[in-house]
Amino acid sequence: MTAIVENKPAYDGKALDLTGRSGARAFKNTLATVLIVLAFVIAIIPLVWILWTVISKGYHLLLNAEWWSQSQRGITVRREGGGAYHAIMGTLIMALITAAIAVPIAILGAVYLVEYGKGTKVARAVSFMIDILTGVPSIVAALFIYAVWITVFGFNRVGFAVSLSLVLLMLPVVLRSTEEMLKLVPDELREASYALGVPKWKTILKVVVPTAFGGIITGVMLGLARVMGETAPLLILVGYSKNINLNPFEGFMGALPTMINQDRTELALQPAADRVWAAALTLILLVLALNLLARLVARFSTIKSK
């Protein structure tokens, strides 16, 4: 390529000289390449460092069966032993309740945006509100539920309140990804269904949603992964309990983020520090597992569009 360019008469315009690779241009190109690779290296360092820290400090407690089957009941910061069963169950229960509330609203909302409201003013308003909801900080979601649940209704701080605030965070994630998936369903499928006389609602339930099902599951898992790691709503809406409490409507409840938060001020004590890093590793593993599962589901259920 350069050979051809060099055969041409030199272009003496001032704007942009592209007649050959001057030293300055080659240098700039190399410099840019170096900087871009450097940016990548800089971005990867914290990831490796964080994962290494958490894994190396936390893995040995995870190897005990005790960690997965026992709570912290009666275990003080100075004592070793106990497990994270109470916190794992608490995190899972709150996440499942969140999903049970958020997922139906999110899927129906996405159906509304794609199948019913397309192009209308209301749909644009809904879409805008979802964008706003995406940006709502978790602490604001927690304060809102605090205002409703505790200040207005006078209920106690319980796990269910946390789930309600997490709904606000999970809803936009699931709704957006479902919407994107529904948009990918080819119109031919809908038209074929209508042509057979199938009513619209049945077309949506039996043709459109099943076609997009894999993508919807992916969105749900990513939404779950996002809410599981949230700490702020837990701090405000439920107290930490070292005991196993499986009832989201009564009493305090353990959760992995608050288990970390509980002992983080006692990191000078080895047993407490071990527990903190082990709980952090358990939480990361849970979130990562959901993320990876979401990717796998996504890979094996691509909508085949022409």
Calculate the CA 116 to chain-centre distance.
Answer: 28
The span of 63-71, 78-86, 146-154, 242-250 binding other proteins (CB under 8 A) equals 146-154
| Residue 159 binds to other proteins (criterion: CB under 8 A) | no
Residue type, 20: G
Q: Return the residue of 141, 185, 208, 217 that touches other proteins, per CB under 8 A.
A: 141
Which residues from 254-273 bind other proteins, rule CB under 8 A?
Answer: 257, 260-261, 264, 267
Closest CA to 170 of 94, 86, 237: 94
Nearer to other proteins, 82 or 215 (CB): 215
- Tell me whether residue 70 is exposed, middle or buried, using C-beta atoms within 10 angstroms of its C-beta: 0 to 12, 13 to 18, 19 or more: middle
Q: Which tokens hold the place of 199?
A: 């009513």
By CB under 8 A, how many residues form the interface with other proteins? 120
The span of 62-70, 78-86, 106-114, 241-249 binding other proteins (CB under 8 A) equals 106-114
Residue 242: phi and psi, rounded to 5, are -80, -15
Contact between 250 and 239 under an 8 Å Cβ cutoff? The reply is no
Count of all residues that appear for the chain in the document? 306
Shortest spacing between CB 163 and other proteins, in angstroms: 13
Contact between 223 and 242 under an 8 Å Cβ cutoff? The reply is no
Q: Return the residue of 61, 93, 111, 278 that touches other proteins, per CB under 8 A.
A: 111
Maximum distance among all alpha carbons in the chain?
A: 87
| Residue 253 binds to other proteins (criterion: CB under 8 A) | no
Which residues from 164-203 bind other proteins, rule CB under 8 A?
Answer: 168, 171-177, 180-181, 183-184, 193-194, 196-202
Shortest spacing between CB 111 and other proteins, in angstroms: 5
Contact between 281 and 62 under an 8 Å Cβ cutoff? The reply is yes
130-157 burial code (b ≥16 CB/10 A, e <16)? beebeeeebeebbbebbeebbeeeeeeb
Nearer to other proteins, 67 or 240 (CB): 240
Q: Return the residue of 70, 92, 231, 269 that touches other proteins, per CB under 8 A.
A: 231
Rounded to whole angstroms, how far apart are CA atoms 28 and 24? 6
The span of 66-74, 77-85, 241-249, 285-293 binding other proteins (CB under 8 A) equals 285-293
Which residues from 11-50 bind other proteins, rule CB under 8 A?
Answer: 18-21, 25-26, 28-29, 31-33, 35-40, 42-44, 46-47, 49-50
Which residues from 61-90 bind other proteins, rule CB under 8 A?
Answer: none
Q: Return the residue of 62, 139, 189, 293 that touches other proteins, per CB under 8 A.
A: 139
Residue 303: partners with Cβ closer than 8 Å, 6 or more residues away: 181, 184, 185, 186, 211, 212, 214, 215
| Residue 96 binds to other proteins (criterion: CB under 8 A) | no
